[in-house]
Amino acid sequence: MLKQTTYDSPLGQMTLLADDAGLYGVWFDGQAYFGGTFDLTTIASGDNAVLQAATAWMTAYFNGHEGQRPALHFSGTPYRQAVQQALCDIPRGQVATYQQLADRLEKFLGHKTAARAIGGAVGHNPLSVIVPCHRVVGSDGSMTGYAGGLWRKQALLELEGASDQVKL
């Protein structure tokens, strides 16, 4: 059964959505694509072990530590799920470009993919922060869009010590 809870992060309130097997969503309130394909108005607030693990992970993350992610449900098309998995491979404190992700996925998928297609999938990532889409930058290292707002992306990269890798 799906449950949702809120988390008060240093960058604003977040909504987390999970069932007993894994996390479906983590969104900053008011961000683009808030709630993804879920109608959050129909889902009860509550708690379960996955939400507890996710909030503990978030607290550790904002305190400078990043342990093992809670169980995740990747969603969307198989392509978007592959992008979400690739995002998880970008280490804390590092960034990757959309083209670098496209090149990685080409090897995994066995066919070419465009940086622009990666951008669409990254922008719709329903698992903000935990699946670190904020670590993706433009081909010249410039700060590019972030569904939670560029100021949050900059703050997350600063928290991780990666802001020196980005053109602000």
The dihedrals phi and psi of 136, each to the nearest 5 degrees, come to -100, 130
Active-site residue, from 82, 83, 129, 133: 133
Contact between 106 and 113 (Cβ < 8 Å): yes
Residues 80, 81, 86: CA angle, nearest 5 degrees: 95
133 flagged as catalytic: yes
Report the candidate in 72, 20, 69 with the shortest Cα–Cα distance to residue 49: 20
- R_g over Cα of the chain: 15
Report the candidate in 15, 110, 94 with the shortest Cα–Cα distance to residue 2: 15
CA dihedral 147, 76, 100, 165 (to 10 degrees): 30
Q: Which residues form the catalytic set?
A: 133
